């Protein structure tokens, strides 16, 4: 067991090139106040530093690098960083809002296509883009940018976050993607919108869905699929909600125990490097950091577990029976309550709603 | 034997071989990223051959190098080399010079 615990192979890393963005999305976890942009820019890692991190990451045996932000394409030196990192040989992913896809960027991507591109899309109309992202013109830019990116051999996924301001277009966003780009492109939705982290300024609480609407949205997709398959005789009352826990007998013999630092892959097989060079378990959890600029990436990864000090959970969580369906992790606890042991009421309510919907026989079978 | 010595093979440039979590893998880059949605894991023999193919090499040279490196008869190494070269050709990963 001791050997297993010590086996920490970093497989994937996120490079958060910047937390600046050309959009001002209400629900953004990382966006800072615009007044901070100059200070942020000055303290961002240089292209040379990111490329050196990529060199070190390759030596560490890392397979996948995700370029994320903020909006990574906002950086003037993005082409230099991208090409320099790419040359070291990784499975490259990119998260972008697709509004800054210039001919120069397309030339770069045609030469070095990302393996996967996640395109954020937050509305089906310019009006909704204005409300959610602060820019109506961003809508057409995102459509045009997406169309260009779709000419690449990359795997493309559209990603959306639904808040109060675009809830009315949640289906229209999927329709838009289908009509503009074809049926084969899925739109994945954020499961739960957490409060902003690491000094970001978004007032997420005022714009995110109520837990009830959020769960309804989560179920909407599977209900829509059933409706399409069954047709006019479909009655929503006949739906039974099961929670996806496989309890087949053969599972008893499968190894289920896995050692980790935080209950997930963060800090065990993946990490994020922030815009200013801090190594974290994931982009969300800023409570534990090591300085990758000071120590180098490899050393920062090696000493990272020493930083982790986890308090016992809130007593409500300790005695809760909904642990199997609870969406909480240390990152969400910290983002929501400011404490690693805190009980995030939003996630708590989410679990209670799901529990009330679950077909009870499925829980005891 | 003539064909085996005259025909040269070389790995295409749009792959990078490196170690991921201690395993040799090929990462597709450039226009062919869509052909492999991920990386290609290589066993030690495959990784050894791929390294040879960074420069033009005949099948004869590859068989000879493999048999020496892995201390096996050329007769045993040849079918494995044939199979691997065919696989690389099939997936357009090498050039025939």
Contact A155 B16 (CB under 8 A): no
Contact B30 A91 (CB under 8 A): no
Length of chain A: 365
Average pLDDT over residues A317-326: 86
Contact B37 A115 (CB under 8 A): yes
Contact B37 A58 (CB under 8 A): no
Residue B12's pLDDT is: 92
pLDDT tens track for A331-356: 999 999 999 999 999 999 999 998 88
Contact A89 B16 (CB under 8 A): yes
Tell me the chain B residues in contact with residue A86 when contact means C-beta distances shorter than 8 Å. Answer: 29
* pLDDT greater than 80 at residue A88: yes
∠ CA B44-B17-A277, rounded to 5° = 125
* pLDDT greater than 50 at residue A2: no
Portion 100-159 of A in contact with B at CB < 8 A = 110-115, 153-155
**Which residues touch A331 (CB under 8 Å, ≥6 apart)?**
A194, A197, A262, A266, A281, A282, A284, A285
| A241, A358 Cβ separation under 8 angstroms | yes
Looking at domain A2-209+242-307, which of 3.20.20.70, 3.40.50.460, 3.30.1490.190, 2.70.98.10 is its CATH number? 3.20.20.70
* pLDDT greater than 70 at residue A364: no
Q: For chain A, give the mean pLDDT.
A: 90
Q: How confident is the model at residue A268 (pLDDT cuts 50, 70, 90)?
A: very high
Among B29, B33, B39, the residue with its CB nearest the CB of A63 is B39
* Token pair for A249: 């007998």
Mutation target to probe the A interface, by most A beta carbons within 10 A, among B15, B18, B50 is: B18
Ranges for all domains in chain A classified under CATH 3.20.20.70:
2-209+242-307
* pLDDT greater than 70 at residue A168: yes
Within 10 Å of residue B55's Cβ, how many Cβ atoms? Answer: 10
Q: How confident is the model at residue A252 (pLDDT cuts 50, 70, 90)?
A: low
Nearest-CA distance from B48 to chain A in Å?
Answer: 18
Q: How confident is the model at residue A313 (pLDDT cuts 50, 70, 90)?
A: confident
Higher pLDDT, residue A279 or B37? A279
Nearest-CA distance from B40 to chain A in Å?
Answer: 11
Nearest-CA distance from B53 to chain A in Å?
Answer: 18
Cα–Cα distance list, A291 to A34, A148, A297, A352 (Å) = 26, 37, 8, 39
Residue of chain A minimizing CA distance to B30: A112
Nearest-CA distance from A127 to chain B in Å?
Answer: 35
| A148, A181 Cβ separation under 8 angstroms | no
Mutation target to probe the A interface, by most A beta carbons within 10 A, among B21, B26, B41 is: B21
Contact A89 B17 (CB under 8 A): yes
Residue of chain B minimizing CA distance to A108: B30
Residue B34's pLDDT is: 73
B48 touches chain A (CB under 8 A): no
* Token pair for B59: 């099948």
Cα dihedral B21→A300→A195→A172 (10° resolution): -30
Contact B16 A88 (CB under 8 A): yes
Residue B25 burial class via C-beta count within 10 angstroms: exposed 0-12, middle 13-18, buried 19 and up: buried
**Which residues touch A115 (CB under 8 Å, ≥6 apart)?**
A91, A92, A93, A154, A155, B28, B33, B37, B38
Q: How confident is the model at residue A228 (pLDDT cuts 50, 70, 90)?
A: confident
Residue A3's pLDDT is: 45
Q: A60, A70, A127: which is closest to A300 by C-alpha? A: A60
Nearest-CA distance from B54 to chain A in Å?
Answer: 16
Among B20, B30, B37, the residue with its CB nearest the CB of A155 is B37
Percent of chain A whose predicted confidence (pLDDT) is above 70:
92
A33-36, long-range: CB < 8 A, 24+ apart: A33/A201
Within 10 Å of residue B92's Cβ, how many Cβ atoms? Answer: 11
Chain centre to alpha carbon of residue A175: 22
Contact B19 A86 (CB under 8 A): no
pLDDT tens track for A176-225: 999 999 988 989 999 899 999 999 999 999 999 999 999 989 888 778 77
Report the helix count and the strand count for chain B, using DSSP H and E: 4, 6
Within 10 Å of residue A230's Cβ, how many Cβ atoms? Answer: 11
B33 touches chain A (CB under 8 A): yes
Residue A243's pLDDT is: 67
How many A×B Cβ pairs under 8 Å?
48
Name residue, tokens 């990359």: A154
pLDDT tens track for A151-165: 999 999 999 999 999
Residue A365's pLDDT is: 44
Tell me the chain A residues in contact with residue B40 when contact means C-beta distances shorter than 8 Å. Answer: none
Helix (H), strand (E), coil (C) string for chain A? CHHHHHCCCCCEEEEECCCCCCCCCCCCCCCCCHHHHHHHHHHCCCHHHHHHHHHHHHHCCCCEEEEECCCHHHCCCHHHHHHHHHCCCCEEEEEECCCCCCHHHHHHHHHCCCCEEEEECCCCCHHHHHHHHCCCHHHHHHHHHHHHHCCCCCEEEEEECCCCCCHHHHHHHHHHHHHHHCCCCCEEECCCCCCCCCCCCCCHHHHCCCHHHHHHHHHHHHHHHHHHHHHHHCCHHHCCECCCCCCCHHHHHCCCCCCCCCCCCECCCEEEECCCCEEECCCCCCCCCEEHHHHCHHHHHHHHHHHCCCCCCCHHHHCCCCCCCCCCCHHHHHHHHCCCCCCCHHHHHHHHHHHHHECHHHHHC
Residue of chain B minimizing CA distance to A62: B20
pLDDT tens track for A102-154: 999 999 999 999 999 999 999 999 999 999 999 999 999 999 999 999 999 99
A62 touches chain B (CB under 8 A): yes
C-alpha distance across the termini of chain B, in Å: 17
Tell me the chain A residues in contact with residue B17 when contact means C-beta distances shorter than 8 Å. Answer: 89
* pLDDT greater than 80 at residue A321: yes
* pLDDT greater than 70 at residue B1: no
Nearest-CA distance from B35 to chain A in Å?
Answer: 9
A91 touches chain B (CB under 8 A): yes
pLDDT tens track for B26-77: 999 887 787 766 788 999 999 999 999 999 999 999 999 999 999 999 999 9
| B62, B52 Cβ separation under 8 angstroms | yes
Put the strands of the sheet holding B40-41 in their side by side order: B15-20, B23-28, B40-41
Domains of chain B: 2-96 (3.90.930.70)
């Amino acid at each position: 067991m001791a050997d297993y615990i010590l086996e920490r192979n970093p497989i994937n890393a996120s490079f958060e090139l910047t937390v600046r963005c050309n959009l001002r999305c209400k629900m953004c976890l990382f966006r800072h106040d615009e007044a901070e942009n100059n200070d942020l820019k000055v303290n961002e890692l240089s292209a040379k530093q990111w490329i050196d991190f990529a060199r070190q990451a390759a030596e560490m045996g890392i397979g996948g690098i995700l370029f994320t932000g903020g909006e990574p394409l906002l950086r003037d030196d993005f082409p230099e960083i991208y090409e320099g990192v790419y040359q070291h040989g990784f499975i490259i992913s990119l998260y972008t809002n697709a509004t800054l896809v210039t001919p120069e960027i397309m030339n770069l991507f045609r030469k070095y296509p990302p393996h996967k591109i996640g395109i954020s899309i937050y509305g089906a109309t310019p009006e909704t883009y204005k409300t959610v992202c602060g820019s109506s013109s961003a809508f057409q830019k995102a459509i045009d940018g997406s169309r260009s990116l779709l000419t690449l051999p990359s795997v493309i996924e559209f990603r959306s976050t639904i808040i109060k301001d675009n809830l009315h277009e949640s289906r229209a966003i999927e329709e838009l993607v289908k009509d503009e780009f074809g049926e084969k492109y899925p739109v994945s939705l954020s499961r739960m919108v957490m409060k902003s982290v690491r000094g970001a300024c978004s007032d997420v609480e005022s714009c995110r869905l109520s837990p009830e609407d959020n769960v309804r949205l989560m179920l909407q997709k599977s209900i829509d699929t059933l409706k399409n398959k069954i047709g006019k005789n479909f009655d929503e009352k006949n739906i039974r909600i099961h929670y996806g826990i496989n309890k087949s007998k053969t599972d008893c013999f499968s190894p289920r125990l896995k050692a980790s630092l935080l209950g997930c892959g963060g800090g065990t097989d993946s990490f994020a490097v922030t815009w200013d060079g801090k190594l974290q378990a994931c982009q969300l959890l800023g409570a534990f950091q090591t300085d990758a600029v000071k120590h180098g990436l490899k050393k920062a990864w090696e000493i990272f577990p020493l930083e982790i000090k986890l308090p016992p959970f809130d007593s409500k969580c300790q005695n809760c029976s909904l642990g199997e369906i609870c969406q909480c992790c240390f990152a969400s606890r910290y983002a929501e309550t400011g404490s690693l042991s805190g009980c995030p009421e939003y996630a708590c309510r989410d679990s209670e709603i799901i529990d009330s919907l679950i077909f009870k026989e499925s829980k005891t079978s | 034997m003539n064909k085996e010595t005259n025909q040269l093979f070389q790995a295409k440039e749009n792959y990078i071989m490196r170690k991921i979590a201690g395993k040799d893998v090929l990462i597709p880059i450039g226009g062919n990223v869509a052909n492999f949605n991920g990386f290609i894991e290589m066993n030690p023999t495959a990784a050894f051959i791929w390294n040879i193919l960074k420069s033009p090499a005949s099948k004869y040279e590859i068989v000879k190098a493999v048999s020496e490196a892995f201390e096996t008869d050329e007769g045993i190494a040849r079918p494995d080399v044939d199979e691997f070269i065919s696989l690389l050709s099939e997936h357009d990963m090498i050039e025939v010079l």
